[in-house]
A = this chain, B = another copy of it.
Amino acid sequence: MTKDQNIKYLFEPRSIAIIGASNDKGKIGNAVINNIIRNGYKNKIVPINPKGGEIEGIKTYKSILDVPEEIDTACIAIPAKFVLESVKECANKGVKYAIIITSGFSEIGKIEEERKLVEAAHEKGMRILGPNVFGIFTAEVSLNATFAGSIIPSGNLGIITQSGALGLSMIGQATVGNVGLSTIVSVGNKSDIDEGDLLEYMITHERTKVILIYMEGVREGEKLVETLKRATKIKPVVIIKSGRSTRGKMAAASHTGSLAGSDTVFNDIIKQCGVLRAENMTQAFEWSKFLAHNPLPLGENTVIITNGGGAGVMATDACEKYNVNLYDDLQHLKTIFSPSVPEFGSTKNPVDITGQAKAEDYTKAFNAALHDSEIHSVIGVFCETSLFTNKDLDAAVEQNYNQFRSAGKPIVFGLLGGQTVADYIRESRRKNIPVYEDVYEGTEVLGAMYSYKRYFEEKEDEIVDFKFDTTAVNNIVEKVRKEDRSFLFSHEGQEVMKIIGIPVPKSLIATNIESALQSARTIGYPVVMKVVSRDILHKSDAGGIALDLDNDEEVISAYEAIMRNCRARMPRAVIEGVAVSEMVPNGTEMIVGGRIDSSFGPTVMVGLGGIYVEVMKDVSFRATPLGKQEVMSMIKEIRSYPLLLGVRGEKTRDMNVLVDTIIKIGSLISCCKGISDIEINPLILYEQGMGAKAVDVRIILSRNER
């Protein structure tokens, strides 16, 4: 199968066949061909129906094999039991893409039937969208090959949706909100083509200014991450992923069979890709609409201009919530706004032009902000007063909005009032003016824009290509596998750490009291001892650990105690000996991990270690490969980050070493196929320049070598 064929032929086919086209108004095949015709599709339409003749006045072939011309895309809308045969015919005909609208495959458990469709298609290099999709709409060629009941408005928002029903709702919402679409496509069961493939078209498609994705589960997460990273460097991507909650995940699984991984992992990795994650439909549409129609701000200085003090305070709260930075050069603010602010008003930010303000006062203040290069965005807040008519609102809002937009400066409006204001808002929103009923809503969209801007302008992070002796690690893995273990012993884990250059406490294995004593002296007191046994996973429960041993005597009695305890508590355990290790000095206990995530492949994790990981869940995740900048941002995300900067007069922890350790673990999990899980807990981190020590290392092997 050729995977390199251009996805453009799916979105902009030069010819489309409708298999199951029909004159029968009740049928989906009729809805689809009617939509194609009604929408004014620019290229060739080829109805296929065993009866032949004409459908909607177009010559109809009995089989796709009879069609003389080349067919780029075929839409299949026939009963499930006939689909496989039809797919085979399409593949034989040389069709590039088959859109299978028909449902009744993996979503109801018919996984094998679905697999066969893909197999048949791939044999001839054809690719499949679906099954269980509502079709595709592309403004570029006026193609509406869906069974949507309503007209789809053209515009510049591209949508990919995993749920067909929500896709149809989105078309509805787009119409209501006057948001035009450049394309909308549903991925359904994702038997072959997934979000990553569809993104390829939207990334380079000029008309598409913003991409919105609704998804329930991730398939081929590594590819998705790579594609999303490229996409967001060109245009904003907004994602709604449902199944955030534990129960939601179960519901999603039973709905589409998608295996939803941890939402925290998804959330962190999607942020790593520069994607804006919306919680619900309303939010997603508001963000997309605003991003599609308004310029990115040139800087971080936002000013609130209000005629009501209370509303100004609320807008200020909203700015903090949504990470919008308020400009606070009081001197400069005074210079700019003094001419527009009356007595009892305030030139501080929020700029309060008081309840006496009329349209011209707003315009004066807005103009001051517009023409000042220190101010990069504005939140206009308006509380209804008796001084205002609808005409004044118009003058205060629409004209100023247009000026700001032309000047490349974003502005949003929060309008609080009664029926007049509500009517004005409804009308203005249809003109795509960013007016909102509440200061929080307007500030939120501006916050989303800033969040994208910050990512967009980040300098490219250089991926660290960390090399190590993979053969040496693989040899250890091989040896463990031969012994039929799925996990590494502590000393083997430490061996792996040494290979990748992560310092571990000095440690020796002893199999009797004599060698334990010898080891302790070699390492130097104080030491700790831990039992080594494949059968004892919870060493401390078995009494298999002794800490802070200061001299020979203590080592002897600890050795005896460990053996006695373990034999008594775990009589069947085969004990290989004890590990005698250096007692490491105190420092900040971190956890660093690596894991092959079921959705995203190789990922890393960092957090505050010890007991707090379990309770506080203060960890953050990233997908590999990694650059240092990304790893730093990952570390900064943990709530306990200030601890690493040093509290109560402590010095900063050794960040370079922490960053290095994470990158090394990332390389290890990415390169050594046999390993599925790595956890260093605790990694004791010392102050700047003093490094770190991996005290406890757990490594688990993958079930099957990847």
Q: In this complex, what residue of B is CB-closest to A310?
A: B163
| Contact present for A173 and B282 (CB under 8 Å) | no
Chain A residue total in the interface (Cβ 8 A): 83
| Contact present for B611 and A280 (CB under 8 Å) | no
| Contact present for B168 and A383 (CB under 8 Å) | yes
Listed stretches A53-61, A404-412, A432-440, A689-697; interface member: A432-440
A255 at the interface (CB under 8 A from B): yes
A277 at the interface (CB under 8 A from B): no
| Contact present for B649 and A421 (CB under 8 Å) | no
Partner of A383, one of B169, B316, B317, B386: B169
Listed stretches A135-143, A371-379, A639-647, A675-683; interface member: A639-647
In the bound complex, how far is the Cα of B308 from the Cα of A252, in angstroms?
A: 11
Contact with B along A115-149 (1 / 0, CB 8 A): 00000000000000000000000000000000001
Partner of A418, one of B172, B256, B309: B172
A183 at the interface (CB under 8 A from B): no
Interface positions of A from 291 to 311, Cβ below 8 Å from B: 307-311
In the bound complex, how far is the Cα of B172 from the Cα of A421, in angstroms?
A: 9
Interface positions of A from 416 to 446, Cβ below 8 Å from B: 416-419, 421-422, 437-441
Residues of B within 8 A of A647 (CB): 611, 614-615
Residues of B within 8 A of A171 (CB): 418
Q: In this complex, what residue of B is CB-closest to A614?
A: B647
A672 at the interface (CB under 8 A from B): no
| Contact present for A310 and B162 (CB under 8 Å) | yes
Q: In this complex, what residue of B is CB-closest to A306?
A: B165
A703 at the interface (CB under 8 A from B): no
A175 at the interface (CB under 8 A from B): yes
Instruction: Please give the count of copies of this chain that the complex contains.
Output: 2
A336 at the interface (CB under 8 A from B): no
Partner of A308, one of B166, B312, B643: B166
Partner of A317, one of B172, B242, B614: B242
| Contact present for B245 and A279 (CB under 8 Å) | no
| Contact present for B317 and A176 (CB under 8 Å) | no
In the bound complex, how far is the Cα of B266 from the Cα of A317, in angstroms?
A: 15
Most buried by B among A165, A279, A344, A421: A165
Residues of B within 8 A of A352 (CB): 255
In the bound complex, how far is the Cα of B336 from the Cα of A39, in angstroms?
A: 45
In the bound complex, how far is the Cα of B319 from the Cα of A163, in angstroms?
A: 20
In the bound complex, how far is the Cα of B384 from the Cα of A174, in angstroms?
A: 13
A335 at the interface (CB under 8 A from B): no
Q: Contacts A383-B166, A439-B280: A648 and B248 contacting too (C-beta < 8 A)?
A: no
A674 at the interface (CB under 8 A from B): no
Contact with B along A236-266 (1 / 0, CB 8 A): 0000101111111001101110000000000
Residues of B within 8 A of A640 (CB): 612, 615-616
CB A673 to nearest CB in B, in angstroms, measures 32
Q: Contacts A169-B416, A176-B418: A386 and B245 contacting too (C-beta < 8 A)?
A: no
Residues of B within 8 A of A632 (CB): none
CB A243 to nearest CB in B, in angstroms, measures 5
Residues of B within 8 A of A318 (CB): 280
| Contact present for B437 and A282 (CB under 8 Å) | yes
Residues of B within 8 A of A643 (CB): 611, 615
In the bound complex, how far is the Cα of B386 from the Cα of A418, in angstroms?
A: 35
A541 at the interface (CB under 8 A from B): yes
A355 at the interface (CB under 8 A from B): yes
CB A685 to nearest CB in B, in angstroms, measures 14
In the bound complex, how far is the Cα of B437 from the Cα of A308, in angstroms?
A: 29
Interface positions of A from 360 to 384, Cβ below 8 Å from B: 383-384
Q: In this complex, what residue of B is CB-closest to A383?
A: B165
Q: In this complex, what residue of B is CB-closest to A325?
A: B247
In the bound complex, how far is the Cα of B546 from the Cα of A583, in angstroms?
A: 22
| Contact present for B418 and A321 (CB under 8 Å) | no
In the bound complex, how far is the Cα of B618 from the Cα of A640, in angstroms?
A: 11
A20 at the interface (CB under 8 A from B): no
| Contact present for B310 and A247 (CB under 8 Å) | no
Q: In this complex, what residue of B is CB-closest to A304?
A: B251
In the bound complex, how far is the Cα of B643 from the Cα of A651, in angstroms?
A: 28
CB A706 to nearest CB in B, in angstroms, measures 30
Q: Contacts A312-B251, A640-B615: A317 and B243 contacting too (C-beta < 8 A)?
A: yes
In the bound complex, how far is the Cα of B314 from the Cα of A169, in angstroms?
A: 14
Instruction: Give 21 pairs: A residue, B residue, CB < 8 Å, sorted on A.
Output: A108-B344, A163-B309, A165-B383, A168-B385, A172-B419, A176-B418, A216-B310, A242-B317, A243-B313, A243-B316, A246-B320, A248-B313, A248-B316, A251-B348, A254-B346, A280-B318, A282-B441, A615-B639, A615-B640, A615-B643, A615-B647
In the complex, the 6 A-B pairs of residues with the closest C-beta atoms, listed nearest first = A172-B418, A163-B310, A245-B320, A165-B308, A255-B309, A169-B416
